[in-house]
């Protein structure tokens, strides 16, 4: 049984973390729910029991064995090392530590081995990256990826409660608070996060750098276009991937069907393919529209969908905690 802190417990992802911890019956001896000062004193429910939100400092002082963060990069930078100095394993859902050479960037099905007994801050990857590398990791082992071209279609839930409210307000012609610069209902916004000097957004470059780190191959070429869509339930991705070695579609299908965490939905005759509605509240990554790119040698097209709040965030973090426990690292 473990003492566990959730930092950012009142947010959309923090709430989902509590839900996933309960569903998966993670062995908790004491639960600490922490958030910003404005949320201290609020009441949250976990397994039918009420918990009062405490400050992050109080959570540090309680010395939990595991602290799962979903409170934004600035909070993670300010507090993660304070927890770690107490011997706490920090699993951070922000981008703050992902590209830090001393912090493993972990998708448990792929690279849990990157965590050592000395590792105290473990980064949870970007939601869009997680579902892509889950789908591609075993194919990379077999055929060796040279290049990935990915376009994402990302749910408003990836932005948070404010964005969900904007979408719902717009559908009801309510002039409410805005999460986006543009209208999102009946629209697509080809910008996620801020623009960088190279013309790409921060979200797009996260996918570039994180993919290389998780798959352990800095030579993989990745280019991304990330788009916000008026959808709730999951992120979708159109992936075009070129390999070093030739493949047969039948073998690709067999590999994907055996890939841990993947469910293949690929039946054109029955119009069956992954959609956000399939992925909502599920922990798996759904793959379909599997076909050869007829314009490029050794190149494959895939359509990949996953619930960004679950496998893309909360579930992946909880799975890391489960692996820490099963590997006797705690």
Which residues are tagged catalytic? 127, 235
Q: How many CB atoms lie within 10 A of CB 49?
A: 8
**Closest to 54 measured CA to CA, from 45, 65, 42:** 42
Q: How many CB atoms lie within 10 A of CB 187?
A: 13
Q: How far apart are CA 324 and CA 226, in angstroms?
A: 32
Q: How far apart are CA 135 and CA 329, in angstroms?
A: 28
**Closest to 236 measured CA to CA, from 304, 300, 301:** 304
End-to-end CA distance of the chain: 10
CB of 179 closer than 8 Å to CB of 154: no
Q: How far apart are CA 284 and CA 311, in angstroms?
A: 7
What one-character DSSP code corresponds to residue 259? S
Residue 272 backbone phi and psi in degrees, to 5: -110, 120
29 CB burial (10 A radius; 0-12, 13-18, 19+): exposed
**Closest to 220 measured CA to CA, from 152, 291, 141, 304:** 141
The per-residue b/e assignment along 138-177, b for 16 or more CB within 10 angstroms, e otherwise, is: bbbeebebbebbbbbbbbbbbbeeebbbbbebbeeeeeee
CB of 258 closer than 8 Å to CB of 329: no
SS3 state at 167: helix
Q: How far apart are CA 314 and CA 319, in angstroms?
A: 9
CB of 9 closer than 8 Å to CB of 15: yes
């Amino acid at each position: 049984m473990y003492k566990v802190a959730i930092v950012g417990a009142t947010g959309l992802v923090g709430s989902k973390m509590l839900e996933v911890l309960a569903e998966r019956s993670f062995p908790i001896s004491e639960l600490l729910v922490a958030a910003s000062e404005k949320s201290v004193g609020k009441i949250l429910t976990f397994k039918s029991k009420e918990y009062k939100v405490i400050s992050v400092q109080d959570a540090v002082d309680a010395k939990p064995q595991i602290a799962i963060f979903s409170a934004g990069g600035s909070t993670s930078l300010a507090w993660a090392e304070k927890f770690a100095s107490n011997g706490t394993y920090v699993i951070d859902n922000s981008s703050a530590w992902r590209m830090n050479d001393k912090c493993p960037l972990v998708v448990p099905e792929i690279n849990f081995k990157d965590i050592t007994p000395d590792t105290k801050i473990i980064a949870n990857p970007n939601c869009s990256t997680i579902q892509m590398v889950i789908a591609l990791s075993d194919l990379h082992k077999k055929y060796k990826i040279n290049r990935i071209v990915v376009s994402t279609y990302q749910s408003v839930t990836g932005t948070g409660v404010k964005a969900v409210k904007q979408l719902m307000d717009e559908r009801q012609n309510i002039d409410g608070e805005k999460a986006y610069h543009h209208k999102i209902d009946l629209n697509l916004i080809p910008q996620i996060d801020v623009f960088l000097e190279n013309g790409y957004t921060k979200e797009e470059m996260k996918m570039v750098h994180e993919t290389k780190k998780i798959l352990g191959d800095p030579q993989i070429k990745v280019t991304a276009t990330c788009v916000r869509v008026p959808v709730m339930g999951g992120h979708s991705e159109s992936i075009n991937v070129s390999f070093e070695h030739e493949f047969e579609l039948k073998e690709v299908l067999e590999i994907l069907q055996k890939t841990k965490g993947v469910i293949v939905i690929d039946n054109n005759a029955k119009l069956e393919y992954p959609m956000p509605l399939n992925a909502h509240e599920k922990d798996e990554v759904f793959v379909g529209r599997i076909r050869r790119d007829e314009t490029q040698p050794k190149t494959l097209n895939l359509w990949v969908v996953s619930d960004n709040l679950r496998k893309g965030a909360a579930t992946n973090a909880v799975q890391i905690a489960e692996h820490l426990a099963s590997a006797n690292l705690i």
